[in-house]
Amino acid sequence: MFDLISQSNPAPQPKELRPHQVRAVEMIRASLAKGNRRVVCQGPTGFGKTLTAAKIIDAALAKQKKVIFTAPAISLIDQTVEAFENEGIRDIGVMQANHPRTDRLAKLQVASVQTLARREIPDAALILVDECHLGFHVIHRLMDERPDVFFIGLSATPWAKAMGLRWQDLVIPVTIGELIEGGWLSQFVVYAPDVPDLRGLKVQAGDFAEAQLADVMGDAKLVGNVAQTWLAKGEDRPTLCFAVNRAHAAQLQAQFERQGVAAAYVDGETDAVERQRLNRLFREGCIKVICSVRTMITGVDLPVSCIIDAAPTKSEMLHVQKIGRGLRVNPGTEDCLILDPAGNSLRLGLVTDIHHDRLDATEKGAKQERKPKAEKLPKPCSQCGVLHAGKVCPGCGHERRPVANVEAKDGELVEVTGKKRSPTMAEKQRFWSMALWMDRDRGWRPGRARNLYRDRYGVWPRGLSDVPMFPDQAFFSFEKSRRIAYAKRKAAVRAEVARQDPRSSSPAALIRQVPEVNGGRSGGS
**How many whole angstroms separate alpha carbon 207 and alpha carbon 85?**
40
pLDDT digits (tens, 9 = 90+) for 421-460: 567 777 788 888 888 888 888 888 778 888 888 888 888 8
Same CATH fold assignment for domains 19-174 and 182-388: yes
* The pLDDT value given to residue 200: 85
Kindly tell me if the per-residue pLDDT of 30 is higher than 90.
yes
Domain boundaries, the chain: 19-174, 182-388, 425-512
Flag whether the pTM goes above 0.75.
no
For 21-26, what is the mean pLDDT?
A: 96
For 46-60, what is the mean pLDDT?
A: 94
pLDDT digits (tens, 9 = 90+) for 109-166: 999 998 998 888 999 999 999 999 999 999 999 999 999 999 999 999 999 999 999 9
Q: Which of 239-253, 358-372, 395-409 has the highest mean pLDDT?
A: 239-253
Cα-based torsion angle of the residue sequence 20, 23, 29, 35 in order, rounded to the nearest 10 degrees: -100
pLDDT digits (tens, 9 = 90+) for 371-406: 555 557 888 888 888 888 888 887 777 887 754 443
85 or 5, which is more confident: 85
Kindly tell me if the per-residue pLDDT of 95 is higher than 70.
yes
For 311-322, what is the mean pLDDT?
A: 94
H or E element in which residue 309 lies: strand 306-309
At the topology level, CATH places domain 19-174 in: Rossmann fold (3.40.50)
Alpha-helical segments (H) within 218-315 = 220-233, 246-258, 272-283
Assess contact for 19 and 172: CB atoms under 8 A. no
At the topology level, CATH places domain 182-388 in: Rossmann fold (3.40.50)
* The pLDDT value given to residue 286: 95
* The pLDDT value given to residue 193: 80
pLDDT digits (tens, 9 = 90+) for 278-297: 999 999 999 999 999 877 77
* The pLDDT value given to residue 10: 47
- Per-residue b/e over 430-450, b at no fewer than 16 CB within 10 Å? bbbbbbbbbbeeeebeebbbb
* The pLDDT value given to residue 407: 40
pLDDT digits (tens, 9 = 90+) for 173-219: 999 999 999 889 999 999 988 788 898 899 988 899 999 999 999 88
